């Protein structure tokens, strides 16, 4: 069985999520829903000090934003230069760090003023970005997660993400939740829970029933893509590209 066929078989058999002997499936409960800009092509989402921060994509429409959770109002924004297709974003110290899709370029913004402070380069594509407190975690659409030094943006290590020994690619938006990496699987309603050290998927979270219109919008691109975690209050938020709502959810075992 070649690699491409194995990966296709994995996605066909495990997504929508089907529990295996070693990788359990989790369901969810909606705790609350909040308004979300339906024009936001969400690429990155994070929670910091009472506010959501969001990065949006598409050439000429890419931006970073500070958003009021309760109302969905954009309180502050900064456009990314129009030649770039914005992707994931995370907070690092007193900055916001964002990446771009195929330009091999990332940007560092002041967290308070949104002023662009610097930019940096990295090889390959950029999809999702998160922070574990010590390193930045970057996905590039492959089955590999790269861990970067937050000061130099140089790669310090990498892990291959697998489920039952099979590599899982299409890893997109990322968030670190209680020590685990949560990763959207692109064009699915599934989040993988990943062990940072080994890359092994420890669980699937099935969000197939969260937003009925997911994947049914223009070009089918209004897919799930956005994970944020409020570590203080233990709140998990998810959304998607062009979705009208952000959902606060609780992860529960599948019965």
pLDDT at 20: 55
Q: Measure CA of the first residue to CA of the last residue in the chain; give whole Å.
A: 33
Of 16-20, 95-99, 154-158, 191-195, the poorest mean pLDDT is in 16-20
pLDDT tens digits, 63-103:
999 999 999 999 999 999 999 999 999 999 999 999 999 99
- Please say if the pLDDT value at position 7 is more than 80: no
Read off the pTM: 0.91
Angstrom distances, CA of residue 236 to CA of 46, 110, 229:
10, 25, 5
Beta bridge partners of 97: 90, 108
- The reply to whether omega before 232 is within 30° of 0 (cis) is no
Contact between 180 and 130 under an 8 Å Cβ cutoff? The reply is no
Domain boundaries, the chain: 3-253
3-253 sits in which CATH class?
mainly beta
Name 125's Cβ contacts closer than 8 Å, sequence gap at least 6.
101, 102, 104, 140, 141
Confidence of residue 21 (pLDDT cuts 50, 70, 90): low
pLDDT at 4: 44
Percent of the chain with pLDDT over 70: 92
């Amino acid at each position: 069985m070649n690699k491409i066929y194995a990966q296709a078989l994995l996605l066909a058999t495990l997504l929508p999520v089907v529990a295996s002997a070693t990788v359990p499936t989790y369901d969810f409960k909606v705790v609350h829903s909040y308004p979300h800009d339906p024009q936001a092509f969400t690429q990155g989402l994070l929670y910091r000090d009472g506010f959501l921060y969001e990065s949006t994509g598409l050439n000429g429409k890419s931006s970073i934003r500070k958003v009021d959770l309760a109302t969905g109002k954009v309180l502050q924004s900064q456009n990314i230069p129009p030649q770039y297709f914005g992707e994931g974003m995370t907070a690092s110290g007193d900055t916001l760090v964002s990446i771009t899709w195929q330009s091999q370029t990332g940007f560092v913004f002041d967290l308070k003023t949104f002023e662009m402070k610097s930019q940096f380069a990295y090889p390959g594509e950029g999809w999702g970005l998160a922070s574990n407190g010590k390193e930045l975690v970057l996905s590039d659409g492959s089955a590999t997660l790269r861990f970067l030094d937050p000061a130099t943006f140089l790669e310090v290590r990498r892990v291959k993400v697998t489920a039952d020994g099979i590599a899982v690619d299409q890893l997109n938006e990322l968030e670190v939740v209680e020590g685990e990496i949560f990763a959207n699987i692109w064009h699915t309603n599934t989040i993988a829970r990943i062990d940072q050290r080994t890359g092994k998927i420890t669980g699937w979270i099935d969000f197939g029933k969260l937003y009925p219109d997911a994947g049914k919008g223009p070009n089918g691109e209004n897919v799930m893509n956005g994970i944020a975690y409020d570590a203080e209050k233990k709140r998990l938020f998810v959304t998607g590209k062009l979705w009208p709502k952000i959902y606060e959810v609780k992860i529960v075992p599948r019965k």
